[in-house]
């Protein structure tokens, strides 16, 4: 007589387990390697997508250069969302991206940021003055925002004067942190990054039409562990709902057409 309640409990536990498995069957965990500047937007988008799809999205946020290198070295990733075309081009040439899934989704703009009490930096030319001794930039070899900034300085013939002052940082968020801490006089970040900080001010905004062409491509990684689910996520990222989130963050939407 005492065994029956135990059997009933075990039966209920088993039933609950089967129900849980059936609810989650077919759900995928999609791994996205994404540029650090996309952190807040992609987390918000993923939260909505997970509720809609039942899939889970996990992120590896860093500078695009190190992320591309990790993919080259075999790190398991489903989607690569870069802050520049060069990293995606390099991976595509090595056959590590699925070309037909690649889209140039977003653009951005550069800004000079400084602490709110800074009165010495009001323009790009001010960075060449003796009063400015340390300028934080993303590492120009691995961090797209640094490469964009260098290209713009070179265009204006200011790079020789700025280069000796550069404090290289591992990502755009590291640049922002360096400025926030007061360890540098100024830094160059995307306008979307400046918008999330209450500890810096925009000392100068580079006009989008005059600045470097900034482009964020996204694509399916070759041999992605969750290829089918990742394709659906890419379609969602190219869609209207995701676009609204990107726009609220200050990104510029590009036509969501697959690159040919």
140-198, pLDDT tens digit by residue?
Answer: 999 999 999 999 999 999 999 999 999 999 999 999 999 999 999 999 999 999 999 99
pLDDT of residue 10: 45
Domain closes at, from 205, 224, 242: 205
What angle, 0 to 180 degrees and rounded to 10, lies between the N-to-C axes of helices 240-249 and 227-237? 60
The per-residue pLDDT string of the chain (260 residues; one tens digit each, 9 = 90 and over) reads 444 555 544 444 544 443 343 345 579 999 999 999 999 999 999 999 999 999 999 999 999 999 999 999 999 999 999 999 999 999 999 999 999 999 999 999 999 999 999 999 999 999 999 999 999 999 999 999 999 999 999 999 999 999 999 999 999 999 999 999 999 999 999 999 999 999 999 999 999 888 999 999 999 999 999 999 999 999 999 999 999 999 999 999 998 554 43
For residues 95 and 167, state if they share a domain.
Answer: no
pLDDT of residue 23: 43
Residue 259: inside a domain: no
For residues 221 and 97, state if they share a domain.
Answer: yes
For residues 99 and 193, state if they share a domain.
Answer: no
pLDDT of residue 209: 85
For residues 245 and 165, state if they share a domain.
Answer: no
Q: Work out how many domains the chain is built from and give that number.
A: 2
pLDDT of residue 6: 53
pLDDT of residue 237: 98
pLDDT of residue 3: 43
Residue 210: inside a domain: no
Structural domain containing residue 236: 3-106+216-253
Distance (Å, rounded) from C-alpha 39 to C-alpha 51? Answer: 19
Q: What is the chain written as a DSSP string? A: --HHHHHHHHHHHHHHHHHHHHHHTT--EEEEEEEGGGHHHHHHHHHHHHHHHS-EEEEEEE-HHHHHHHHHTT---SEEE-SSHHHHHHHHHTT-B-GGG-EEEEE--EEEEE-TT--S-SSSGGGGSTT---EEEE-TTT-HHHHHHHHHHHHTT-HHHHGGGEEEESSHHHHHHHHHHTSSSEEEEEHHHHTT-SS-EEEEE--TTTS----EEEEEBTT-TTHHHHHHHHHHHTSHHHHHHHHHHTPEE----B--
For residues 187 and 68, state if they share a domain.
Answer: no
For residues 92 and 126, state if they share a domain.
Answer: no
Q: Residue 138 is part of a domain; what is its CATH number?
A: 3.40.190.10
pLDDT of residue 257: 55
Residue 211: inside a domain: no
Residue 245: inside a domain: yes
131-153, pLDDT tens digit by residue?
Answer: 999 999 999 999 999 999 999 99
pLDDT of residue 11: 47
For residues 25 and 91, state if they share a domain.
Answer: yes
pLDDT of residue 25: 56
């Amino acid at each position: 007589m005492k065994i029956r309640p135990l059997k009933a409990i075990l039966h209920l536990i088993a039933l609950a387990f089967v129900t849980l498995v059936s609810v989650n069957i077919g759900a995928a965990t999609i791994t996205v390697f994404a540029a650090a500047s996309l952190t807040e937007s992609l987390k918000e988008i993923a939260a909505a997508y997970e509720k809609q799809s039942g899939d889970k999205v996990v992120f590896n946020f860093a500078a695009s250069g190190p992320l591309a290198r990790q993919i080259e070295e075999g790190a398991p990733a489903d989607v690569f969302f870069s802050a520049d075309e060069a990293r995606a081009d390099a991976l595509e040439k090595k056959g590590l991206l699925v070309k037909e899934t690649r889209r140039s989704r977003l653009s951005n703009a550069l800004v000079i940021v400084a602490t709110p009490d800074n009165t010495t930096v009001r323009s790009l030319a001010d960075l060449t003055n003796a009063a400015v001794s340390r300028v934080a930039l993303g590492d120009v070899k691995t961090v797209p925002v640094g490469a964009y900034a260098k290209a713009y300085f070179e265009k204006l013939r200011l790079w020789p004067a700025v280069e000796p002052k550069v404090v290289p940082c591992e990502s755009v968020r590291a640049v922002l942190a360096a400025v926030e801490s007061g360890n540098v006089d100024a830094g160059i970040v995307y306008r979307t990054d400046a918008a999330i900080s209450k500890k810096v001010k925009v000392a100068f905004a580079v006009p989008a039409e005059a600045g470097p062409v900034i482009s964020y491509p996204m694509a399916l990684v070759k041999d992605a562990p969750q290829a089918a689910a990742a394709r659906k996520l890419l379609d969602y990222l190219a869609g209207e709902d995701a676009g609204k989130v990107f726009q609220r963050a200050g990104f510029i939407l590009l036509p969501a057409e697959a690159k040919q």
